[in-house]
């Protein structure tokens, strides 16, 4: 499979066409960004770690029956994925109050929620990824009612799989963000990445943050904590 034209350069990854119309090359960059791109840094080794962690997670999800765009990891910082039409909705699943939820509801960070909740954000950098409800999604015309239900259900389902996987290795899955896309047949497929860039992960004992909050809040070495996650998941 050869790397063709660069299709899209995002904040954390580059997408390239391959010779096969419906398969893409994803190259994980070393860039770290936060606060809608306001804070930026290049961090050696980050791309490799996220490529490996995302791979492990998509493989585990596959075992539990969750299809994703993931095909295979083909180098340190590259993987092949199925091309989809991304639904511009960030599906955020939360088990414990943190970040914007703690602020929104005036709840102390770390408070367990009565139950797992799902939020939708409009994936639009220029608008700052605003939170939206089902009526907003409807008038924006970005997903059908059935798709919205699917996103909600898949969000909870992925959580139900990942929470115990992390728990088994002493990590609390606080919250995470998923992206989905439509394949050529219109099936909704889990896409993008699942990594410490897109999850909040806390050590179960020490409550140490093992995710991008280390970068957002200047709490130490991002590489060190991402390596902890990789090794806890059985990778190296």
Query: What residue ranges bind ligand ADP (CB under 6 A)?
Result: 8, 10-13, 15, 24, 69, 81-84, 86, 179, 181, 191-192
Task: Please report which helix (H) or strand (E) contains residue 162, including its range.
Answer: helix 145-168
Region of 174 please: left (phi>0), alpha (psi -120 to 50) or beta: alpha
Q: Residue 117: which of a second copy, ligand ADP, none does it interact with, CB under 5 to 8 A by kind?
A: a second copy
Is the CB of 59 or the CB of 124 nearer to a second copy?
A: 124
d(CA 101, CA 116): 12
Chain Cα centroid distance, residue 6: 22
Asked if 141 touches a second copy (CB under 8 A), the answer is yes
- What are the structure tokens assigned to 19, written together? 């010779």
Contact 88, 142 (CB under 8 A): yes
Among 127, 169, 204, 219, binds a second copy (CB under 8 A): 127
Minimum distance from residue 123 beta carbon to ligand ADP (Å):
7
Task: Match 């798709």 to its residue by tokens.
Answer: 147
What does 8 bind: ligand ADP, a second copy, none (CB cut-off 5 to 8 Å by kind)? ligand ADP
CB of 25 to ligand ADP, least distance (A): 11
Strand partners, 68: 190
In whole angstroms, how close is the CB of 24 to ligand ADP at the nearest point?
6
Question: 25 near 15, Cβ under 8 Å?
Answer: yes
Residue 139 or 206 with smaller CB distance to a second copy: 139
DSSP 189-215: EEES--STTTEEEEETTT--B-STHHH
CB 25 within 8 A of CB 80: yes
131 binds, among ligand ADP, a second copy, none (CB under 5 to 8 A by kind): a second copy
Query: If contact means CB under 5 to 8 A according to the sort of partner, which of ligand ADP, a second copy, none does residue 132 touch?
Result: a second copy
The nearer residue to a second copy, 140 or 204, going by C-beta atoms, is 140
Span 58-117, contacts to a second copy by CB under 8 A: 103-106, 113-115, 117
């Amino acid at each position: 499979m050869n790397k063709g034209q660069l299709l899209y350069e995002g904040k954390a990854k580059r997408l390239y066409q391959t010779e096969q119309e419906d398969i893409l090359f994803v190259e994980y960059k070393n860039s770290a960004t936060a606060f809608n791109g306001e804070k930026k840094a290049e961090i050696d080794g980050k791309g490799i770690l996220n490529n490996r962690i995302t791979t492990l997670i998509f493989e585990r999800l596959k075992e539990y029956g969750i299809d994703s765009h993931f095909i295979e990891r083909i180098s340190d910082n590259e993987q092949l994925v199925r091309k989809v039409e991304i639904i511009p909705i960030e599906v955020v699943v939360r088990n414990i109050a943190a970040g914007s939820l703690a602020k929104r509801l005036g709840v102390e960070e770390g408070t367990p929620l009565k139950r797992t909740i799902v939020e939708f954000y409009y994936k639009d950098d220029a608008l700052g990824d605003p939170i939206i409800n089902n009526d907003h999604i409807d008038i924006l015309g970005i997903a059908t009612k059935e798709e919205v239900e699917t996103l909600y259900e898949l969000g909870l389902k992925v959580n139900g799989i990942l929470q115990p996987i992390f728990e088994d290795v002493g990590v609390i899955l606080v919250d995470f963000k998923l992206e989905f896309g439509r394949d050529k047949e219109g099936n909704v497929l889990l896409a993008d990445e699942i990594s410490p860039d897109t999850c909040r992960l806390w050590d179960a004992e020490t409550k140490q943050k093992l995710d991008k909050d280390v970068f957002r809040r200047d709490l130490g070495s991002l590489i060190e904590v991402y390596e902890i996650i990789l090794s806890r998941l059985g990778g190296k």
